[in-house]
Structure 1
Amino acid sequence: MELLHRLFNAEPLLALFATIALGYFAGKIRVGSFVLGGVAGTLLVGVVIGQLGIPLNSGIKAIFFALFIYAVGFQGGPQFFHALNKRSLNQLASSFVMCATGLLCVLLAAWAFGLDRGLAAGLAAGGLTQSAIIGTAGDAIARLGLAPEIVKTMQTNVAVGYAVCYIFGSLGPIIMVTWFFPTVMKWDIRQEAIKLAQRMSGGHAELEPGQFNSLQTIVTRVYDITAQSKAAGQTVLAIDKQLSDAAVEAIFRKGNAIDLSDTTCVEVGDSVAVTGKIEVMETASDFFGKEVPAPPGLSLVQESREIIMTNRALNGREVGDIHDHVDVETRHGVFLKSVTRMGLDLPLLNKLQLKRGDALHFVGRPVDLDRIESKTGYKISAAASTDFVFFGIGMLLGMLIGMIEFRLWGVPISIGSGGGCLLSGLFFGWLRSIHPKFSALPPGASNFLRDFGLAAFVGIVGIGAGPQALTAIKEHGLTLLFLGAAVTLIPQLVTFYFSYYVLRIQNPIEALACVAGGRSANPALAALLEKTGNATPVVAFTVTYAVANVFLTLWGPVIVGIITKNSGS
């Protein structure tokens, strides 16, 4: 122990990286279906290592949190602004009710039990499972102009409240959306998910676990053209029009692949490579002839390309509607494999509404993909680089916004650099979705900033809390535990029944997804997806999650501004 103490004091960053490594290792330990998670694990390990009294510069903590919160805003910006429309109004209202009820529960608990600003903010961070509140509240506390020892104690209390309340804060939504609400409402989640998928897919059957949906499987097969083939003598485009969801990708003539265009004719003796959906390919032999192995030594080059949708004309339109109204000349040879929104895979069904900022995963020949890309948006390239001009401007604006102070009912409130960087990130993420030439921050880069920024920030918070954390846990632990359970459960109950009876969100899967998203509860979504067996909850979750991420993060400085009790007073 003495060796570790000397090492960590000689180089404090050793303690930080040890905390992150051990914390994320602890966070992976599974007890039944519950996993603590890397963030909570890092905080708890940080508190343990912090008993050694390791000095870490507070400026490092501020930098990492600013990077984390900017990346969160950047990734959620497209969905947040595109969700602000009449179609999503009831889901937006549901998310805001959840956030507002959560805030009210925290304030009432703080006033009733005499919690100081730090404990109240920690109660919100853990009970509502919003890690970003640790940073925004801690930043707001630092701006109060109090004595340094009081500031440090209250910032420690934020971490303590989070640590005590987080475990049930994560478990509570899982229990509510997968067991309590379905039991009370007498819903069979799996069957309801199947019904929703059937409605969204225009009546196509939803398959059971262990089966696969052929509508989403693309294959390539080779056929020999004979005199009896219907395709003989027809152009490639004419064939594609008749096949609709399959396309001629290559023609092998006398052992060689020939140049292919829409006007190329298929001749007797050719071998034709056709790519398409399985249900189309099953009948393709009637059109072409006998299926044969590909000619030796020849290959068919295709590309898997992810395109960010920015075309306003496609925003809000359903997948099936776009397919039916786009002519074959435009869409032939290109197949939509999946749709991702805010990093989550959406159910690829006919009635899925696409939003600007969605990532569309296409497969096809590069020349065909180029044609689609020009009408859809811009591709995500592995070689894409960060636009540091806009990144720097975004961080600068975020810091400036955080310096603004205003009064709410006479209470001075500042959202701080964390809240400012969140708003700045939202704006530049949205800007990137509509003007792809500006503000590039590739998914890999933004994911790293988000995950490592939060890990480092929480690790520093835990290390800084040190011995004070154990004292606070002994003094307030049981009270915080019960208050955290109330803050976790009450907003879900209020929001679910308000959404169901007032906002008329009565589809079971959408109602449950709104509860999970309104708390930005990723573990609850994962559990719900396991129960549904398909991705139908993701659509409603992404809308409510984007809104909740913003408001819950901003509650940190709001709580610090409204609660007036300081530590020791």
Structure 2
Amino acid sequence: MEWFRELVFGTGIAHSILLLALVIAVGAALAKIKVAGVSLGMTWILFVGIVASHFGLVLDPVVLGFIRDFGLIVFIFAVGMQVGPSFFSSFRKGGLKLNGFAVLSIALSVGIALILCKVADVKLTTMTGILCGAVTNTPGLGAAQEAYHDATGVSDPSIAMGYAVAYPLGVIGIILSMILLRVIFRVNIEAENKRLEEARRDDPSATNTVSVKVTNPVFSGKKIADMKKLCTNRFVISRIMHPDGTVDIAAGHSVINLDDVLYMVVSAKDSARVASFIGEEVTVDDDKWREENQKYVSRRIVITKPQINGRYLGDLKLRNNFGVNVVRVNRAGIDLAATANLQLQMGDRLTVVGEEAALQDVANMLGNQLKRLRHPNIIPIFVCLLLGALLGSIPFYFGNIPQPVKLGLAGGTLVVAILVGRFGPKIRMITYTTVSANLMLREIGISMFLAAVGLGAGSGFVETIVGGGWKWIGYGFIITVLPLLITGFIAHKWGKVDFFTLMGMMAGGTTDPPALSFASSISPNDLPAVGYTTVYPLTMFLRIITAQMLILLAV
């Protein structure tokens, strides 16, 4: 049995694969366990690695370092590609306010961590790990460890220890903060949802669908394109019902005649004005529109032709050339407005309404060959890893600071992935990966990283906790709850952020999917998801950068 002992406790490639697979498999199995609907997720892999290392199952330091760093940058790449398309657009309109509150929460958590570091006399490197665990941000942990290693040439296991100790109560603390804010503001879920629905109906920027009968002779014989020039208000004509009851899809060249009924989408504040200018608003049952419109069908068409990647929707002139309407564009599970200036990407799913023959022509034009999407595009992956390694290795010198500042592998890869995800289509780079492929990259990367971190931190973990490290749990809980309560109170009371969006913002501000799951479970709408996705890209970026900066302050 000597061969088995060598395989388990020895060295070599077989030993490394065996130990890594064992830690990940057991941790992933434990990740399925939920208590009161809450799970620690893949962080179980970290705990299993710590236990394995505590009992003498260790990896060669060189192998361990490669697995940790490679897993981290693969995970960071997948995250960057996911958030890249929405990173800059998240600062528009209401997103600017939500991101401002998220930045406040990040600043408060960093400030509280620095205060606790001084008051409790805890090393800043350890407190950085506690901070990352308290806000459940695993990429920040990776960035902190990498920054410390780059600056000193050695590793500090207390960073991972602080993270592991603070993480479980961090997950609970985020959810508890939501519950406390609900109690403080006495939020009634049904009443809050009803108030929001009434506010949306009264919102002058909201849009209505109206049926308008053409009675103004000015528009008789005019094309829709010319008709829009005569009316200063913005509107969209979707369908035209002629006096004989036939229905046509509206196009720019469609001719309008008296007594035609137009199915229009127009802002609520302009609805009455537009209707009276064109003619008179009439009541047409939605079932009547569908009944008369049976020759038209709706299909989802997927962009799979590389030539379409990076082009604007308006440039395709689908309505003029094929007589169809694009009513929605879905990208990576998110619905986007089908505007003329929307830049299309490989894998976008267009919901198109029109005649069957025309839809087939559009499908041929856009590709709609799902087999092409199954073929992986590996060039963007390794281009991002290459450029990320280059960017992360560039030293930046500030003032009299002797130690240069680097983005590191994690920071460099994140910046490059965000930029490629956002601007890749402009240079016709195909950055599309299926949702399942992106998720697979993320899970493999984070599993390798957490397993390596756990195997490297297990030695001395129990002794550290018994020797006073148990106090870190309390420090982490303070870092979790206090910034969220302060930010949440300000955002809801003075920022007028509704409670559902607030819960999503809190979950996104801590990059915590279990908290989003909790918020969605008690919300009757999708506003928590909107709040989460709005602040998630900037939050992820800042959590990684601030973790690195704290380490550089410590060394």
Q: Separation in 1 of the partners of 2:364 and 2:88? A: 23
Query: Match for residue 304 of structure 1?
Result: 300
Counterpart selection for 1:394 from 376, 384, 392: 384
Counterpart selection for 1:60 from 40, 62, 67: 67
Q: CA deviation at 1:86?
A: 5.0
Whether 1:77 and 2:78 are equivalent positions in the alignment is no
User: Per the alignment, in what secondary structure is the counterpart of residue 152 of structure 2?
Assistant: coil
Q: Separation in 2 of the partners of 1:17 and 1:231? A: 70
Q: Rate the CA distance shift 1:423–1:173 in 2: closer, same or farther, 3 A.
A: same
Q: Separation in 2 of the partners of 1:162 and 1:91? A: 27
Letter in 1 for 2:372: A
Question: Does the Cα contact within 8 Å between 1:309 and 1:356 map onto a contact in 2?
Answer: yes
Q: CA deviation at 1:464?
A: 2.0
Query: Match for residue 257 of structure 1?
Result: none
Counterpart selection for 2:136 from 94, 111, 129: 129
Letter in 2 for 1:491: P
Letter in 2 for 1:94: F
Aligned ranges for residues 266-415 of structure 1 at < 5 Å?
A: 280-281=286-287, 287=292, 303-305=299-301, 332=324, 336=328, 339=330, 362=351, 367-368=358-359, 371=362, 381=370, 383-384=372-373, 385-407=375-397, 410-411=400-401, 412=403, 413-415=405-407
User: Per the alignment, in what secondary structure is the counterpart of residue 526 of structure 2?
Assistant: coil
Question: Does the Cα contact within 8 Å between 2:84 and 2:419 map onto a contact in 1?
Answer: yes
Q: Rate the CA distance shift 1:54–1:426 in 2: closer, same or farther, 3 A.
A: same
Query: Match for residue 531 of structure 2?
Result: 540
Counterpart selection for 1:550 from 514, 537, 541: 541
Query: Match for residue 490 of structure 1?
Result: 482
Q: Rate the CA distance shift 1:370–1:96 in 2: closer, same or farther, 3 A.
A: farther
Question: Does the Cα contact within 8 Å between 2:504 and 2:532 map onto a contact in 1?
Answer: yes
Q: Separation in 1 of the partners of 2:312 and 2:289? A: 37
Q: Separation in 2 of the partners of 1:110 and 1:476? A: 14
Question: Does the Cα contact within 8 Å between 1:197 and 1:349 map onto a contact in 2?
Answer: no
Q: Separation in 1 of the partners of 2:361 and 2:263? A: 19
Aligned ranges for residues 98-109 of structure 1 at < 5 Å?
A: 98-109=105-116
Q: Which runs of 5+ in 2 are unaligned?
A: 204-241, 255-259, 265-284
Q: CA deviation at 1:234?
A: 4.8
Counterpart selection for 2:442 from 450, 466, 470: 450
Cα RMSD (Å): 4.2
TM-score by length of 2: 0.73
Letter in 1 for 2:481: L
Query: Match for residue 36 of structure 1?
Result: 40
Question: Does the Cα contact within 8 Å between 1:310 and 1:378 map onto a contact in 2?
Answer: no
Whether 1:521 and 2:512 are equivalent positions in the alignment is yes
Query: Match for residue 411 of structure 2?
Result: 419
Q: Rate the CA distance shift 1:379–1:283 in 2: closer, same or farther, 3 A.
A: closer
How many pairs does the alignment contain?
A: 470
Q: Separation in 1 of the partners of 2:398 and 2:166? A: 28
Deviation per residue, 1:162-208 (Å, 9 max, x gap): 1111111111111222x2111111112343234435644779xxxxx
Deviation per residue, 1:138-173 (Å, 9 max, x gap): 111111235x4xx2xx1x212211111111111111
Higher relative contact order by CA 8 Å / sep ≥ 6: 1 or 2?
1
Q: Separation in 2 of the partners of 1:11 and 1:199? A: 62
Letter in 1 for 2:520: L
Question: Does the Cα contact within 8 Å between 1:78 and 1:429 map onto a contact in 2?
Answer: yes
Q: Separation in 2 of the partners of 1:429 and 1:79? A: 9
Aligned ranges for residues 66-215 of structure 1 at < 5 Å?
A: 66-85=73-92, 87-146=94-153, 148=154, 151=155, 154=156, 156-177=157-178, 179-197=179-197, 199-200=199-200
Question: Does the Cα contact within 8 Å between 1:197 and 1:536 map onto a contact in 2?
Answer: no
Query: Match for residue 31 of structure 2?
Result: 27
Q: Separation in 1 of the partners of 2:189 and 2:323? A: 36
Q: Rate the CA distance shift 1:333–1:42 in 2: closer, same or farther, 3 A.
A: same
Q: CA deviation at 1:67?
A: 1.1
Q: Rate the CA distance shift 1:25–1:173 in 2: closer, same or farther, 3 A.
A: same
Query: Match for residue 216 of structure 1?
Result: none
Q: Separation in 2 of the partners of 1:62 and 1:380? A: 36
Question: Does the Cα contact within 8 Å between 2:324 and 2:352 map onto a contact in 1?
Answer: no
Q: Separation in 2 of the partners of 1:120 and 1:389? A: 39
Question: Does the Cα contact within 8 Å between 2:520 and 2:528 map onto a contact in 1?
Answer: yes
Deviation per residue, 1:9-67 (Å, 9 max, x gap): 352111111211111111111111221212x1111111112223321402122111111
Q: Rate the CA distance shift 1:458–1:4 in 2: closer, same or farther, 3 A.
A: farther
Q: Separation in 1 of the partners of 2:144 and 2:554? A: 12
Q: Separation in 1 of the partners of 2:110 and 2:57? A: 34
Question: Does the Cα contact within 8 Å between 1:74 and 1:426 map onto a contact in 2?
Answer: yes
Q: Separation in 2 of the partners of 1:86 and 1:379? A: 34
User: Per the alignment, in what secondary structure is the counterpart of residue 83 of structure 1?
Assistant: helix
Counterpart selection for 2:49 from 34, 46, 49: 46
Q: Separation in 2 of the partners of 1:552 and 1:373? A: 44
Query: Match for residue 475 of structure 1?
Result: 467
Deviation per residue, 1:374-414 (Å, 9 max, x gap): 8xx99795523444443322211211121123356755332
Q: Rate the CA distance shift 1:85–1:334 in 2: closer, same or farther, 3 A.
A: closer
Q: CA deviation at 1:449?
A: 1.6
Deviation per residue, 1:449-475 (Å, 9 max, x gap): 212101111111112223222222223
Q: Separation in 2 of the partners of 1:349 and 1:83? A: 15
Question: Does the Cα contact within 8 Å between 1:518 and 1:544 map onto a contact in 2?
Answer: yes
Q: Separation in 1 of the partners of 2:519 and 2:92? A: 26
Identity %: 22
Deviation per residue, 1:434-488 (Å, 9 max, x gap): 5554444443332222121011111111122232222222234321100000110
Counterpart selection for 2:491 from 478, 495, 499: 499
Q: Separation in 2 of the partners of 1:437 and 1:561? A: 35
Q: Rate the CA distance shift 1:189–1:235 in 2: closer, same or farther, 3 A.
A: closer
User: Per the alignment, in what secondary structure is the counterpart of residue 351 of structure 2?
Assistant: strand
Moved more, 19-28 or 386-395: 386-395
Q: Rate the CA distance shift 1:553–1:98 in 2: closer, same or farther, 3 A.
A: same
Q: CA deviation at 1:370?
A: 6.4
Q: Separation in 1 of the partners of 2:140 and 2:370? A: 33
Q: Separation in 2 of the partners of 1:432 and 1:231? A: 49
Q: Separation in 2 of the partners of 1:427 and 1:191? A: 42
Q: Separation in 2 of the partners of 1:327 and 1:143? A: 56
